[in-house]
Structure 1
Amino acid sequence: MRQLQWDELDLLQGLEVIPTENDNGGLHFEVEQAGLKLLVTLWSHAGVVDVTLVHQPTRSILLDFTVAVRGRIRYNNDKRGQYLEFPDCVLVSRISFSLEQDEAAFNPNTFGRPMLLTVRPYPSVLFE
């Protein structure tokens, strides 16, 4: 298993909410802004992050996925705005996460992409 790396201040600046710890050891953030709800759960020991984006008026799920994060999560404030960068992410199955999938996700030969999360002016998710 892989360990997520981050600085608490980076997460607080990027998501602008105080996290809660869920019963299974995940660090959970819930951001509501502009009719959207962004749910982010960090599973430190597994090295994965769950991301869900919900359109609140209709309660429709717009995005719902899990990524393995290979690299340190960082807060950035640059010409693109204020955002959290999750470097080198690989999409993984939330339902059937297996040892083989874990090994493939964290293999340096598996291609990954950076994921950016922002909450201003509205919650959004971008894969670069």
Structure 2
Amino acid sequence: MATIRELQWEELDLLQALEIVPVDNDNGGIECRVDQQNLTLHLTLWPYAGVVDLTLVEQSSKAVLLDFTVAVRGRIRYNNDKRGQYLEFPDCVLVSRISVSSEQDEAAFSPNTFGRPMLVAIHPRLSVLFE
């Protein structure tokens, strides 16, 4: 069974979890920017590639704290449960932004490659967690 490579999500989930309106960029991506507590989260969804870029920057020093791309296998969802309010990216695999190849793409979306859920929250503070 082939894995669907297109990202799947509901617009309302992004609005609820990140409390911002996503913006289409000129390259076909959907950008979300959240500024909070001296941090800026840049989240770009690439719907047809099935990947998400995430960058976390400290505003005062402009230091990049996190900068990576994940292939997302599964529907992106907003959750509000005992762990809090967060956006869940299920079954993620880290991929390279620099050297994109068909082999990397095949490996990232292979059912034989182990992935982990990624959670992004803005309450009580901005956080990114791989489970």
TM-score (norm 1): 0.98
Distance in 2, Cα, partners of 1:22 & 1:122 = 26
Question: What is aligned with 1:78?
Answer: 81
SS in 2 for 1:107: coil
Distance in 2, Cα, partners of 1:113 & 1:79 = 20
Question: What is aligned with 1:19?
Answer: 22
Distance in 2, Cα, partners of 1:99 & 1:12 = 33
Task: Report whether the alignment pairs 1:33 with 2:36.
Answer: yes
Question: What is aligned with 1:115?
Answer: 118
Q: Which digits, 9 at most, give the CA deviation of each residue in 1:63-100, with x for residues without a partner? A: 00000000000000011100000000000001111111
Task: Report whether the alignment pairs 1:44 with 2:47.
Answer: yes
In structure 2, the gaps of 5 or more residues are none
Q: Which digits, 9 at most, give the CA deviation of each residue in 1:27-67, with x for residues without a partner? A: 00000011100000000000000000001111100000000
Instruction: State the 1:2 CA deviation.
Output: 1.4
Task: Report whether the alignment pairs 1:103 with 2:106.
Answer: yes
Bigger proportion of residues as strand: 1
Runs (4+) of structure 1 exceeding 4 A deviation are none
Q: After the TM superposition, which of the residue ranges 80-89 and 114-123 deviates more from structure 2? A: 114-123
Q: After the TM superposition, which of the residue ranges 115-124 and 34-43 deviates more from structure 2? A: 115-124
In structure 1, the gaps of 5 or more residues are none
- How many residues are matched? 128
Kindly, what percent of the aligned residue pairs are identical? 72
Q: Say which of 73, 90, 94 aligns to 2:93.
A: 90
Distance in 2, Cα, partners of 1:80 & 1:2 = 28
